[in-house]
Structure 1
Amino acid sequence: MQTAIPEVTTEFLEAFAAAWNRHDVDALMSFMTEDCVFESSAGADACGTRYVGSEAVRAAFAKVWAVFPDAQWAHARHFVHGDRGVSEWTFLGTRADGSRVEVHGCDLFTLRGGKILLKNSYRKSRSPS
């Protein structure tokens, strides 16, 4: 007898987004596979900075709130199709120097076994006109 693997839904991604806004790293990691990967929106490599495994991903997620203590992801929209998912959002946060950030972004997810295997993050970069 096979055990059904839970399907990832838009409600799953809504709950993941809510955990980001609560700054709840334990809840976030409950959505991720043990061998998860996070590709951040910035870094030296073409994929941004790549974090592999739950310990590295947990530390990278927590670092976001260290840089932006008031970080929020607003106006989120989500969809799931098969083993892929997308979340679109507006990121809002304040850096330690007091500068505010407000940019649109998205996460592209690869899903496996009812959890997130890969969170590939993209965020717009604003510059003076």
Structure 2
Amino acid sequence: MDGSTVSDVTLERLHEIAAAFARRDVGGIVAAFAEDGEFRNARGPHYWGESFKGKAAIRGYFERLFSASGDVTWRHTAEFIHGDRAVTEWHRTATLASGERQEWLGCDLYTFRRGLIVMKDTYVKVVI
């Protein structure tokens, strides 16, 4: 053994995940998560937002999001990786069914295991 390790995440993997979000591909998004993966939304009733654990809960969240705002988009502006952790920064826009326009900057803090997301923790700038 030469001491090298296989990286848990690569820029290529981050780009694959971003592409699934850009396509609003719920199956592709869910497939990027480990079975025990967790998505923490920036909004929610707790100081950490709202947590969705496991593929079924994550699928349900994104199906609801995409049906409520069919034009939601994330444009990545920066990303970096350190070990099994990654950060992506992005600009999000969406129009809700009510006609309300949303726009904000945010970032995702990721933890990966063998190329799959075990934690995706989302943060956004609060627009007031």
Distance 1:120 1:69 in 2: 22
* 1:89 counterpart residue number: 90
Distance 2:16 2:34 in 1: 16
Whether 1:7 aligns to 2:17 is no
Cα contact 2:9–2:81 (8 A) shared by 1: yes
Cα contact 1:80–1:86 (8 A) shared by 2: yes
Give identity over the alignment, percent. 38
Distance 2:61 2:117 in 1: 15
Distance 2:81 2:72 in 1: 25
Cα shift readout 1:70-103 (whole Å, capped 9, x = no counterpart): 0000143211110111110000100111111111
Post-superposition shift, 1:68? 1.7
TM-score, normalised to structure 2, is: 0.90
C-alpha spacing 1:6/1:82, structure 2 compared with 1 (3 Å): closer
* 1:42 counterpart residue number: 43
User: RMSD across aligned C-alpha pairs, in angstroms?
Assistant: 1.6
Any gaps of 5 or more consecutive residues in structure 2? Answer: none
Cα contact 2:8–2:112 (8 A) shared by 1: no
* 2:119 counterpart residue number: 118
* 1:105 counterpart residue number: 106
Cα contact 2:109–2:122 (8 A) shared by 1: yes
TM-score, normalised to structure 1, is: 0.89
Question: Which structure has more strand as a fraction of its residues?
Answer: 2
Mean Cα displacement is larger for which, 28-37 or 67-76? 67-76
Cα contact 2:9–2:85 (8 A) shared by 1: no
Post-superposition shift, 1:6? 5.5
Post-superposition shift, 1:67? 2.4
Cα contact 2:72–2:95 (8 A) shared by 1: yes
Post-superposition shift, 1:66? 2.0
Aligned length: 125
